[in-house]
Each structure stands twice: as C-alpha cells, then as structure tokens.
Amino acid sequence: AQKITQTQPGMFVQEKEAVTLDCTYDTSDQSYGLFWYKQPSSGEMIFLIYQGSYDEQNATEGRYSLNFQKARKSANLVISASQLGDSAMYFCAIITGFQKLVFGTGTRLLVSP
Amino acid sequence: DAGVIQSPRHEVTEMGQEVTLRCKPISGHDYLFWYRQTMMRGLELLIYFNNNVPIDDSGMPEDRFSAKMPNASFSTLKIQPSEPRDSAVYFCASSPETGKEQYFGPGTRLTVT
C-alpha cells in the first residue's frame, strides 16, 4: 500500500521568503507519480506540480519546485518568494498503477506580511 | 476551459433522504474520480471511472453509496438513505491519462442533519 507522510502540521513564513514543505512517501512500486495540491480557505483543490518516479530532473512550475530525492523517498515542495496568497493547506500525494491518488494529512502554511 | 463542474455546491438534507451529487468532467478527460474529505479521515478516493466504466469502487463506504457515469460528460454520486456521518465535502476530479495530474472540481459540501 502507498503512504504519504507530512510531518509539519503548520508552517510560518514571511512574505518574499522561501519555504520548504516536507513530504515522504512509501511505496513498493517502481513506477509512481508524486503531486502537490494547494487548498485555500475557499476549499478548492488546486494542482501545483507533478514529479514522475523516472524523471531525473526536479519538476518546477513558476515559483514552485519539487525537491525529489528518490533514495530517501522524499518529495519536498519549495515555494520561492512567498506571497500572502500562498497561505493555504498543502497536500502531498502519490499515485501508482492502480490510479489511486493517496494524500497526506496536509501542512497549513501561513504567510505573514 | 471551464474546468470540472460540480453541483450543487452546498446541500443540506435530513437523515434518511436521498442525495444526488453531480459532476461534469473536463472535456476529453478519460478518467473521473470521486473523493470525500472529512476532518477525521482526510481525502479518500471513493470510486473512479475510465471511459465511463467503473474501475475501482473499493473506497465506497457501503451499499448506501452508488455512482454512475452514463456518458463521458456526466457522473452522479448518490447516497440513499443519507446519514449524519455522510456529512463531508465531496470532490469530483478528472484526468486526461493514467497516472497524471487530476483536476478537481470546487466540491459539494454536504450536511446531513
């Protein structure tokens, strides 16, 4: 079975600073995908970034980058130059061949002015 | 693109009543997923379809829950009879291909009294 662990229930960062949200995963599958989603207080789930298990380079999408360390089974999200609008819950998730997206418990990020 | 559309956005019903949640996936997406989010259990996959065919319904909590996808542009999740413990946010998501990012709808917040 797949499992995602997010050990930081809450994180605080000042505007314009970078922040790293931790995610470790557990799977016995060789082929898998890792995702980060953002859930603002309005409730919608917003896809941020994807990393395939065979991708050699870390994924980047604008201010978001995924620090993929396969041997350590970690997939941390790095947000550069934080903005007030980045305040939200962030979920790490994994998918394998069975198409089941398994989510972690989330990290609440608060960006202060 | 309009994104994934869900209706209603909010539903309040009494215990024992039938509830039907609706979803229109993104055009061209072959995969459709139903999730439930609660404080206690987080985000859980209930069922998913590929090309309108249910593939895995192992996450459906019990026989009171049923889902259908009569065509590529419409799916329903029905709860009959509803119970207070069914209160949650129900998300529909769609994906263009296997193992790739899933795009979520805005969710339906269900309250059963």
What does the pLDDT read at residue B98? Answer: 78
Interchain pair B43, A91: CB under 8 A: yes
User: How would DSSP label each residue in B62-105?
Assistant: STTEEEEEEETTEEEEEESS--GGG-EEEEEEEESSTTS--EE-
- Residue B20: pLDDT band with limits 50, 70, 90: very high
Per-residue pLDDT of chain A (113 residues; tens, 9 = 90+): 889 999 999 999 999 999 999 999 999 999 999 999 999 999 999 999 999 999 989 999 999 999 999 999 999 999 999 999 999 999 999 998 767 889 999 999 999 99
Predicted local distance difference test score (pLDDT) of residue B53:
95
For residues B52 and A31, give the distance between their C-alpha atoms in angstroms, rounded to a whole number. Answer: 25
Q: How many CB atoms lie within 10 A of CB A91?
A: 26
Q: Which of A46, A91, A99 sits opposite B31 (nearest CB)?
A: A99
Which residues have a Cβ under 8 Å from the Cβ of B63 and sit 6 or more positions away? none
pLDDT at A1: 81
Does the distance separating the beta carbons of A100 and B99 come in below 8 Å? no
B42 to A105: CB separation less than 8 angstroms, yes or no? yes
| pLDDT score of B97 | 84
**Nearest-CA distance A16 → chain B (Å):** 28
Question: How much is the pLDDT for A98?
Answer: 67
pLDDT digits (tens, 9 = 90+) for B38-94: 999 999 999 999 999 999 999 998 899 999 999 999 999 999 999 999 999 999 999
Residue of B nearest to A105 (CA): B42
Cβ within 8 Å, pair A100-B56: yes
Structure tokens at B15: 């215990």
> What tokens appear for A40 in the block?
């603002």
Whether pLDDT at B1 is above 70? no
